[in-house]
Amino acid sequence: MLAGRAGFATLVLLYAALVLLCLATLAAAGDLSIGRNPWDNLLKTLGEFARPSFVDVWFGPERLEYRSDDGTLLRVENRRELEAGFLAAVARAAWVTFQIATLGSLLAALLALPLALLVARNLRAPRPLAWAAKGVLDVSRAVHTLVFGLILVGIVGLGPTAGVLAIALHSMGTYGKLFAESIESLDMAAVDAVRATGASEAQVFFHGVWPAVLPQFVGHHLYVWEFNIRDSTILGLIGAGGLGLLISEAVSLFQWSRLATLLIVVVALVMLFDAVSRRIREALQ
Amino acid sequence: MTAALLLEAVRVQVGGRVLLDVPRLAVAAGDRVAIVGPNGAGKSTLLRLVAALLPAAQGRVQVLGRELGPGPALAPAARRALRRDTGLLMQGLHLVPRLSARENVLIGALARLQGAQALRSWLRWYPPALLAEADAALAALGLTARAAQRADRLSGGERQKVALARLQLQRPRLVLADEPTSALDPAATQAVCRALCAVAAEPGCTLVSVVHDPELLPLLATRVIGMADGRVCWDLPVAELSPALLRELYGPRVGEPAPAAQPAPGARLGLAAG
């Protein structure tokens, strides 16, 4: 039906029409605004972010006095001690976040593996089983981690367990799709060669399929794991523990300098993990 | 002695084109047969049919005493046993790229393992005797230094040799080799032919190979079958083969006059034999 250049041009036109429709709908509803004074707000926010709270651990005033308008001393703060305590709390929370991402990813990968074997078309699993597995993976991928988290907090209560399960349930769909695709891109000529020696199906799997897909599986695992480190920071917002809890606290109390600290920690965590996982993936080539 | 291979009234057709039409062909156990013929003659189709890679649609195909059909499909156990007894050396069958040369050779022996050894093979844990056998097979082909190398880092000739060593560990009763020396240099061709003969040297082992190089025919075969357009043209002992017969089978070479203009002496003979 859609072939060649005319087909591609039609697709581009359809896409352009869709984008225009979205813009027009938003504009007609008057929702396409950026506030009354975006420029001032932007500068203000940037100014608050420019001095992350952790700087105070070394350079903050040791005796910060809060006074009322008539000069009465209300409260005295040792900024250095206070922020050092906050930093320790951030470290603990980052560790919880990392735990949620790690255990959730591992659980997801283990759950997804048998489903991916059923879904991969070239392994020719029985059709009804393949459909059922594909359905499970599609549902799991379609529902966001946050939604799973909200549901699970109601079931298993507040805390990291809900986070681990939420990550596992959503990532299972991602893993399943990635795993099935690497199995489908397999060199079937090698698999056929193993089968042609009269090896049993299990032997064919462990000698023809597994060695070829294992490095790709590890690569996918590292990728989704890294993704989940970001995702699990959000899970704290709904009470699943970790950095997200501190982020939601900082936002509610308008402590932008602390939010800046938290964001720097998240970015550092993700960058560190990315550097390590890239090394591992290169070594596996 | 039963025939290793028996084809009766076999016809393979794809989209109205006849790929193979063999009224009868029998190969006795222990025979060494080479099939020659131009591209599209049906040589590979014949081999794939016997290897059960193609379904037999019409006629009767019997391999190592088992009926391949048409008719009821073989039971899984019988199919596995037949695969184990049939050694294939074909272009569509690769090495497992990320396994070492030695591990690829050991794959040949998988079907021989029983019980706990078969379970251990899932973890690529093999009995020492088998490891020694694999090393010996690689050494015979001059690949000792490359045994630990990953298969995707081997050259084309080395891969073919590893596939042969794998075949050797399989200990097949019937070897089907489709152009085993294509894309190999002369030295590698010699080594591969020698190894192929060594595999087929087991008593009762049958070797059926597709070859183009006339010089290799006496090495690999005692009997030569000439095919063209899906049909068997002639079926002769290798001693009775003449260059003229081969020339006629393959048609005129580029730059040579067509046989109609200048008939070769063996042309009429070849047609009569067919």
Residue A107 in tokens: 């659980």
CB contact under 8 A, B83 and A195: yes
* Other residues' Cβ atoms within 10 Å of the Cβ of residue A72: 8
> Across A166-175, A185-194, B15-24, B220-229, which has the greatest mean pLDDT?
A166-175
pLDDT at residue B37 is higher than 50: yes
Q: What is the pLDDT of residue A78?
A: 82
- Rounded CA separation A96/A244 (Å): 10
**How distant is the Cα of A173 from the closest Cα of chain B, in angstroms?**
27
Tokens linked to B23: 């009224």
pLDDT (tens digit per residue) in B60-92: 888 888 888 776 777 888 888 889 999 898 877
Assign A5 a pLDDT band (cuts: 50, 70, 90). Answer: confident
Q: Which pLDDT score is estimated for B92?
A: 72
Chain centre to alpha carbon of residue B153: 25
Spans of all domains in chain B: 3-241
Q: pLDDT averaged over chain A?
A: 89
Picking from B110, B112, B150 by the largest number of A CB atoms within 10 A of its own CB, the best residue to mutate is B110
CB contact under 8 A, A193 and B123: no
Question: Are the Cβ atoms of B93 and A192 closer than 8 angstroms?
Answer: yes
pLDDT at B272 over 80: no
Q: Considering just the CA atoms, what is the radius of gyration of chain A in Å? A: 26
Q: Residue B41 — pLDDT band, cuts 50, 70, 90?
A: confident
CATH class of residue range B3-241: alpha beta
Cβ distance of B170 and A211 shorter than 8 Å: no
Identify the DSSP state of A207. Answer: I
Categorise residue B115: left if φ over 0, alpha if ψ from -120 to 50, beta otherwise. Answer: left
Assign B256 a pLDDT band (cuts: 50, 70, 90): low
Using a CB–CB cutoff of 8 Å, tell me whether A189 touches chain B.
yes
Per-residue pLDDT at B220 exceeds 50: yes
If you measure CA to CA, which chain A residue comes closest to B121? A203
Nearest-CA distance A115 → chain B (Å)? 20
Do the Cβ atoms of B29 and B20 come closer than 8 Å? no
The pLDDT tens digits for A53-95 are 888 878 877 778 888 888 888 888 788 888 888 999 999 999 9
| Nearest-neighbour CA in chain A from B213: distance (Å) | 26
Predicted ipTM?
Answer: 0.81
Nearest CA in chain B to A192: B93
B211 φ, ψ (degrees, to nearest 5): -135, 155
With CB atoms and an 8 Å threshold, state whether A203 touches B124: no
Contact with chain B for residue A215, Cβ under 8 A: yes
Q: What is the pLDDT of residue A238?
A: 83
Name the helix (H) or strand (E) containing B160.
helix B156-170
pLDDT for res A92: 92
CATH entry 1.10.3720.10 includes domain A86-284: yes
When CB atoms are compared, the residue of B94, B124, B170 closest to A197 is: B170
A285 touching chain B per CB within 8 A? no
Strands B223-228 and B32-36: parallel
Q: Which residues contact A2 (CB under 8 A, 6 or more apart)?
A: A8, A10, A11
